[in-house]
Amino acid sequence: MPFHASAAPTERAGLATYLSQQLAGIRNTSYGLTEEQIRLAPTRSTLTIGGLLKHVATCTDGWIGRIVAAPGRPPQQDDPAAAYASEFLLTDDDTLKSILAGFDQARDRALEVIDTVDLDVAVPVPDAPWFPHDTKSWTARWVLLHLIEEVARHAGHADITRENIDGATMYELTAGAEGLGDQPFPQGVAPGRRPGLTVNRRPHHAARPGPRRRSSPAAAG
């Protein structure tokens, strides 16, 4: 499913293939980056490729954990807002390899759960200030659709962040990461080849200086 989600004959297959495709998209934004580059925040946002990958892995695992615990609840965090903010931060021990290993583990668990979960099971709404207080539960189906939405949003954040690092965009990164070789529209990113040389685009400019801020938890879902 390099550029589009695979055809899905059932609802369950559709949920799995769309989640898998969006997760692959954000994972590919790290393709070819150095340890220094995954820590760069080249726009007015504080978001980095490494931080986005860590957050999406934690977010995916968290929602899947809620589905598995349903109709009960998983253990409650003492400070959800602080835990959320820390998900975007890279420590000295974080490497691209370790981040991707955690990411892949969360992805694999999610796809295994989707394969067997009762999509109608009631998943209690988390106790956090950015979730509605007039709803007691959602179905697992709703939670999975929300997860796909959130991963897609952060994939867009990662696309913009990566393009501001070295000019590489989704098609060429996907072609490179998936080993597709050169395509009629992009050439894949490869060792020794500067991304973006064969793709028509406006010249890349450095981000203008200005205040940086990250989206609120409510905006991030």
pLDDT digits (tens, 9 = 90+) for 52-61: 999 999 999 9
Report the CATH number that the domain containing residue 45 is assigned in CATH: 1.20.120.450
State the pTM of this model: 0.81
Residue 1 lies in a domain: no
**Is residue 116, in this structure, part of any structural domain at all?**
yes
Q: Band of the pLDDT at 211, cuts 50, 70, 90?
A: very low
Residue 37 structural domain:
11-167+204-220
> How far apart, in whole angstroms, are the C-alpha atoms of residue 18 and residue 25?
11
* DSSP state, residue 38: G
Pick left, alpha or beta for residue 47 (phi over 0 → left; psi -120 to 50 → alpha; otherwise beta).
beta
What angle is formed at CA 150 by the lines to CA 2 and CA 113, rounded to 5 degrees?
Answer: 75
The reply to whether 127 falls in a domain is yes
For residue range 23-58, list pLDDT tens digits in order. 999 999 999 999 999 999 999 999 999 999 999 999
pLDDT digits (tens, 9 = 90+) for 161-201: 999 999 999 988 998 898 887 777 665 555 444 444 333 33
Alpha carbons within 13 A on the beta-carbon side of 29: 30
Which is it for the CA torsion 215, 217, 56, 52, positive or negative? positive
Q: Supply the mean pLDDT for the chain.
A: 85
Question: What is the tally of structural domains in the chain?
Answer: 1
**Within a domain: 182:** no
